[in-house]
Every structure is written in structure tokens, then in C-alpha cells.
Amino acid sequence: MPAARPARIPSQRDGADHAEDAAAAGTTVDHLTETYRTHYRSLLGLAALLLDDTASCEDVVQEAFIRVHSARKRVRDPEKTLAYLRQTVVNLSRSALRRRILGLKLLSKPMPDMASAEEGAYDQLERDSLIKAMKGLQRRQREVLVLRYFADMTEAQVAETLGISLGSVKAYGSRGIAALRLAMEATA
């Protein structure tokens, strides 16, 4: 017959362990569910500014919620759940764009569908020069300009989304606009 284990006597350390467990509990499933109900559409809008089709945007936002749910114990402050979700959406959108760029490099480019040469030529040249100029910007400058002017986010929202300071958003934005202006004037 095996010997019975001695009963463990609770110590003061056990109380400290319990307090640490409570502090490390992180974001609850209920809080994450409420965040989903409240902010799903705004996160979908953020993804839509970085990606071009609804299905990819929905996939990115759903994946972001899945990842935050998996890591919810690491998000110690429930107030930061939305910021964590926004950053995850931006990062997943970047990954999706990288995969697309790789796929596009492997495909041949079809001829643009235009009604007439005169009608679309100028627009296509202007669009191409803008895209080329945007590609010439630093990654952070491009992200700040897209979120600030195409997503119509405030500087504070851009800073929170990208996880950088408000001063950095202003600096990247002004330098990006200056570089974009120079690049566009050079092609004109």
C-alpha cells in the first residue's frame, strides 16, 4: 500500500502566488467579446485602408481577434486590448500585402482596361507616379501617410495604431509629405 502524501500547509507565499495569478489574469473572454461587438467594424475599416478586398479584411480582423484571444493573459490592462488589436490588424495586413506582392511578381501583368488612350493615359501616368513616389518613401512614412490621410485617422490614433509616439507621427508625416512633394515635382 503506497504511503499517503502529507498535507501541504499553506504559507504566506501561497497568498502572493494567488495575487500574482489574479494580476496576470489579463483580458477576460467577456471583455474581448464586448470589444469584438463594439470595435469590429472600425477594425475592419482599418484593414480596408491597408488592403483592397473585403474578404481579406475580414480574414485579417478575425485572425487578429483569434491571436489576441490566444494571448489574452499577456494583455494585462484590459484598456489596452483595442490598441493591441489595432497593432495586430496592421501587422497582419502588412503580412498579407507582402504575400500579394510576391504573388504579383510571379504573375505577368495584364494590359490595363481603358476606354481610349486619351481618356486614361493622363490618369494612369499620375497614378503611377504617385505610387512610385509612395514606394520611394520609408516604410513608416508611408504607413503614417496612409493612416493619416487615406484612413482619416487623427495623429493620436495613428500613434496608437503603429505603437509610436505622437511626435514620431508628426515627424514621419511631415518628412513623408516633403519627400512625396519632391518626388512628384521631379516627375512633373
Over residues 85-132, the pLDDT tens digits come to 999 999 999 999 888 888 777 776 666 665 566 666 777 777 788 778
Cα separation, 24 vs 29, in Å, equals 14
Confidence band, pLDDT 50/70/90 cuts, at residue 72: confident
- Give helix then strand counts, H and E, for the chain: 8, 0
Supply the pLDDT for residue 62.
92
Supply the pLDDT for residue 21.
44
Confidence band, pLDDT 50/70/90 cuts, at residue 35: confident
Q: What share of the chain is helix, strand, coil (3-state, %, to 5)?
A: 75, 0, 25
Residue with cell 509612395: 134
Cα dihedral across residues 60, 66, 70, 73: positive or negative: positive
Q: Is the pLDDT of residue 168 over 90?
A: yes
pLDDT mean across residues, the chain: 80
Q: Around 45, how many Cα atoms within 13 Å sit in the side-chain half-sphere? A: 10
Q: Measured at the alpha carbon of residue 150, what is the angle toward residues 154 and 177, in degrees to the nearest 5?
A: 80
Q: Is the pLDDT of residue 48 over 50?
A: yes
Which candidate, 39, 41, 49, places its Cα nearest to that of 84?
A: 39
Supply the pLDDT for residue 113.
63
Q: Is the pLDDT of residue 15 over 90?
A: no
**Strand, helix or coil at 73?**
coil
Q: Is the pLDDT of residue 82 over 50?
A: yes
Supply the pLDDT for residue 178.
93
Q: Is the pLDDT of residue 3 over 60?
A: no
Residues 6+ apart with CB under 8 A from 118: none
Residues 6+ apart with CB under 8 A from 153: 147, 161
